[in-house]
Amino acid sequence: MRSASMWGQGSEPVSRTALDRYARLEAEGRYFDGESALPRQVMVSFGERSLVLMGFDGIAIAHWPLASLSAVGGAGDRTLQITPDVQSEERLVIEDLDMIRAIEAVCPELHRRPADRRGIARALVWGGLGVGAVVVMVFIIIPRLAEPLAQMLPPEREAQLGDAVVDQLRLVLGGLEEESAPGFCAEPDGALALEAMTDRLRAVTELPYPLRVSVLDHPMVNAFAVPGGRVVLFRGLIEEATSPEEVAGVLAHEIGHVIHRDPTVGVLRSAGRAGILGLLVGDVFGAAVVVAATEAVMNASYQRDVEARADEEALAILARAELPSTPFSAFFQRLAEQHGDLGVMQYLSSHPALKDRAERAEAGDSLAGLTFTPVLNDGQWLALRQICGETSDDP
Amino acid sequence: MTDQAGDVPFWDLERYRRDHSQPAEGTGGRHDGGGRDGGRDGGGRDGGGYGYTERKRPVLKLKFTASGGVLFLAALRGALFSILTLGLHRFWMITRLRRFYWSGIRIDGDPLEYTGRGIEKLLGFLFALVVLAAYLGAVQLGLTFLGLSFAADDPAVLQASLQLGTLAAIPLIFFATYRAQRYLLARTRWRGIRFGLGPGALGYTRRALLLSLLTLLTLGLAYPYQHYRLAKYVTDRAYFGDLEFTQEGGWGELFAQWIWIYIIAGFCGLMLWGLIDNPQDAAAGFLGAIAITFGATALLLAYQRYTIAAFRILWNNRYLGDSRFECDLSAGRVLWIYFGGGFATSLCTALVGGGVAFLLISWGATASDLTVFQQFEATNDPAVLWPAWPIALAGVVSYLVLLSVGFAFGQLFVSLPVLRAKVEATRINDPQLLALSRQREADRAGEAGGFADALGVDVGAGI
């Protein structure tokens, strides 16, 4: 494309000298009136600041102002198709190379597409709407729909789903091999102790379905709730804890999830989101990555809300069971010291920062140093710590 | 019309129109209302208006003039910007490439013209995003709920219910295909006259769903029938100005090409079966691997060959008004372009990549930054990696550049030659009749192929 500055920008779009040079140039062209596809042979020549299209009968068909001439198609073609202005439907096709060069010379703006700002405002509006729709869908509508839907599921179905999730997880922890999947800890005295602890918390909560607590023989310091009122503690967590109240705090937190059916809501939510994100998968040039990353951050923030709610429930349960929440807090403190807090990464983490949780747990302690009946006596606590002496494949 | 037969020579359309314009203005566009039921068999209409019974009927070869250099630079630039803008620029890149390809197609010396715009594609995409977010999100959620309510204990069924969500997109994909074709035609002009596609996206979707079901039930045997019916549905609704496109012919010819896939599959199956029959043979496993590779390649080739043959057969039986298209696209030539062009693309991209890698390594070696990776392995401390960030950045940048270079080479060595082969294999009988077409109204085709873009549907425009 020729540079416009070559010819001096501004009020004088047509170079006079060039026009004088081509004043006598004439060439054949095909003219289309924009109403029919019927070609008309015309003679094309330059007039006073215009392109003159003359019929073979000597009658001028059109005078096209040079300033608004616009080329259709690309530069550098051996055929030039032009239109008097961008809106017009009339076309002129010229194949004479001299004439093409002449027109390109006197109309330096010929191949420039005028910046077309029509629609930019609408693009911004729709862009906002588009992003808004995805955000509203992913973060408002789907979660809102997911909660009532989760309430409508039959509890026994949820329990089955939960069992499937636990089986899947054991398989993954065992390196996808059936034999090395960690078993459930089933030492009878330990199981009785666990039952005693569960009973104490169960007595003060109302749950949509029976609570089932089991311990998985695995060194990870973790615990989770799956759909259907099932809570799984890891052996590593019990070993890490220094008192039964710490374990009870974690258990109360997971019960907090069960009360609100968080695991089931989570399954429904992620399914709905997958449907939307699948939309953007076919796209090669990377928009999907941005959306997925945004989604990860936003989802983590939702998860943190859920975790915080479960923490609150846990404090309430502990208070009703007349248990202190300070050990729960101390447990978080210790974990934060041992493993370090997450720093910047906490925005990507699905759990609130450990220190914050610890502080809140301490502030929520209803007993604050008063005496309380321990959740387990020393013998039971020892038994619980030995619970993985025997394992079985059935919970 | 026959009453107006006379001494007007067939090429003098201007005079023909002048003579006929007064009485026949109303029907001037559809100048041959009865043409479709009779007279499509070549000579049938020769007694009619133009008086060319003794003359050889004119045939026009389509021409393709487009320079690869311009295309390569446009594609490279477009792809680079698309990556830099995280995909936003691709709407403008597609517009630019289509404008380039369209203007290369010459019918009777006059180029096609693409009038689509980038911004309308972006708008369409965003609109589609809004609709699809609501639709797919709700469908997926509902399906999961149903899956959980009825089959929570069986992970396989649960998984399947999630896959059903993908099926929910299928009607949308058909819908999007039709709408995208409509947009494409609405933004195409020749001689200043618009092409167009009438409304019918819902009818297309319904037919496509039923026909797909039929294809599924017949294990794919009915695919040529589906292909033909859908092509006919679209073609019969397409216009150039006020001239109608029509699809003639039948699906038998397509079937004759399609059946080769089954013959080849059967042959490969027999071969494998023969090999499995003698498992004692030590060479059997090796031969089996060869037979599977060979069979897969043969099937792929057979499928490609079918798509090319289908293009030829469909275009060979298309009419625009009363002008008949002819097409003798050679499958061998196009397959060769795929093969040779694919090879040239990978070779050139690899050469550019090799050059870039060489530069990076010579630069990196002088900075002796590569040792940090050994240090990292030894100390496991991510801090030692920091000095290497220029190398890492250069690596990422070169990867993205190579992606664009590969795309541009693909356009140059595959897309352009394939389009050239297709255009140059096509002819139009009686091209002078096309001059009778009158302008049609602009079709906004508002969502501008946005659904197709969001769902990743290619409408066969190559880009």
Question: In this complex, do A164 and B155 lie within 8 Å of one another by their Cβ atoms?
Answer: yes
pLDDT in tens, chain A (395 residues): 444 444 444 444 555 566 777 778 888 999 998 888 888 899 998 888 888 898 888 888 888 988 888 888 765 567 888 888 888 889 999 988 888 888 888 887 788 776 666 667 777 777 777 777 777 776 777 777 777 777 777 777 778 777 877 887 787 777 666 677 788 888 888 888 888 888 888 888 888 778 888 888 888 777 888 888 888 888 888 888 888 888 888 888 888 888 888 887 777 777 666 666 655 544 444 445 555 555 555 566 667 777 888 888 888 888 888 888 788 777 777 776 665 544 444 444 556 666 677 777 777 666 666 677 777 888 888 888 888 888 777 66
For residue B368, give how far its alpha carbon lies from the nearest alpha carbon of chain A (Å).
31
Question: In this complex, do B454 and A279 lie within 8 Å of one another by their Cβ atoms?
Answer: yes
Question: Given A38, A73, A76, which is nearest B17 (Cβ)?
Answer: A38
How far is residue A202's CA from residue A95's CA, in Å, rounded to a whole number? 90
What is the token pair recorded at B89? 């620029």
pLDDT digits (tens, 9 = 90+) for B344-366: 999 999 998 888 878 877 766 55
For the segment B96-105, the average pLDDT, to the nearest whole number, is 89
Question: Given B113, B119, B137, which is nearest A73 (Cβ)?
Answer: B113
Q: What is the pLDDT of residue B166?
A: 67
Write the DSSP symbol of residue A36. Answer: B
Question: In this complex, do B162 and A95 lie within 8 Å of one another by their Cβ atoms?
Answer: no
Q: What is the pLDDT of residue A229?
A: 82
Question: In this complex, do A138 and B139 lie within 8 Å of one another by their Cβ atoms?
Answer: no
pLDDT digits (tens, 9 = 90+) for B15-25: 656 655 544 33
Q: Return the closest-CA partner of residue B254 out of B220, B296, B225.
A: B225
Residues of A in contact with B87 (CB under 8 A): 283-287
Question: Given B67, B123, B434, which is nearest A76 (Cβ)?
Answer: B67
Q: Which helix (H) or strand (E) holds B189?
A: strand B188-190
Question: Given B129, B153, B241, which is nearest A133 (Cβ)?
Answer: B129
DSSP A282-323: T-TTSHHHHHHHHHHHHHHHHHHHHHHHHHHHHHHHHHHTT-
Q: Which of A268-286 are b and which e, b meaning 16 or more Cβ less than 10 Å from the residue's Cβ?
A: bbebbbbbbbbbbeebebb
Question: In this complex, do A32 and B86 lie within 8 Å of one another by their Cβ atoms?
Answer: no
> Which has the higher per-residue pLDDT, B71 or B393?
B71
Q: What is the pLDDT of residue B433?
A: 87
For residue A279, give how far its alpha carbon lies from the nearest alpha carbon of chain B (Å).
6
Residue type, B241: G
Q: Which helix (H) or strand (E) holds A60?
A: strand A60-65
Residues of A in contact with B65 (CB under 8 A): 77-79
Question: In this complex, do B141 and A268 lie within 8 Å of one another by their Cβ atoms?
Answer: yes
Residues of A in contact with B86 (CB under 8 A): 285-287, 289-290
Question: Given B86, B102, B150, which is nearest A286 (Cβ)?
Answer: B86
Which site among A85, A285, A289, A295 would you substitute to test the B interface, given the most B Cβ atoms closer than 10 Å to its Cβ? A285
Q: Residues A55, B14: contact at Cβ < 8 Å?
A: no
Give residue B39's pLDDT band: very low, low, confident or very high (50, 70, 90).
Answer: very low
pLDDT digits (tens, 9 = 90+) for B426-458: 999 988 888 888 888 877 766 667 777 766 666
For residue A365, give how far its alpha carbon lies from the nearest alpha carbon of chain B (Å).
39
Q: What is the pLDDT of residue B205?
A: 93
Report the chain A residue with the minimal C-alpha distance to residue B404: A285
Q: Which strand ranges, in their side-by-side order, compose the sheet holding B318-320?
A: B59-61, B426-429, B323-327, B318-320, B243-247, B238-240, B193-197, B188-190, B110-114, B105-107, B63-64
Q: What is the pLDDT of residue A278?
A: 58
pLDDT at residue B274 is higher than 60: yes
Q: What is the pLDDT of residue B126?
A: 79
Question: In this complex, do B145 and A149 lie within 8 Å of one another by their Cβ atoms?
Answer: yes
pLDDT digits (tens, 9 = 90+) for B277-330: 665 566 666 777 777 888 888 889 999 999 999 999 999 999 998 899 999 999
pLDDT digits (tens, 9 = 90+) for B176-228: 889 889 999 999 999 999 999 998 889 999 999 999 999 999 999 999 999 99
Question: In this complex, do B133 and A137 lie within 8 Å of one another by their Cβ atoms?
Answer: yes
How far is residue B455's CA from residue A280's CA, in Å, rounded to a whole number? 7
Question: Given B87, B123, B145, which is nearest A286 (Cβ)?
Answer: B87
Q: What is the pLDDT of residue B47?
A: 41
Write the DSSP symbol of residue B384. Answer: G
Q: What 3-state class would DSSP assign to A72?
A: strand
Q: Residues B314, B325: contact at Cβ < 8 Å?
A: no
Q: What is the pLDDT of residue A312?
A: 85
For residue A368, give how far its alpha carbon lies from the nearest alpha carbon of chain B (Å).
43
pLDDT digits (tens, 9 = 90+) for B233-270: 999 999 998 999 999 988 999 999 999 999 988 888 88
Residues of A in contact with B138 (CB under 8 A): 141, 145, 272
Residues of B in contact with A79 (CB under 8 A): 65, 106, 109, 111
pLDDT at residue B7 is higher than 70: no
Residue B74: CB atoms within 10 Å: 18
Question: In this complex, do B127 and A130 lie within 8 Å of one another by their Cβ atoms?
Answer: yes
CA angle B439-B440-B443, nearest 5°?
140
Q: pTM for the complete prediction? A: 0.70
ipTM: 0.71
For residue B269, give how far its alpha carbon lies from the nearest alpha carbon of chain A (Å).
34
Q: What is the pLDDT of residue A283?
A: 46
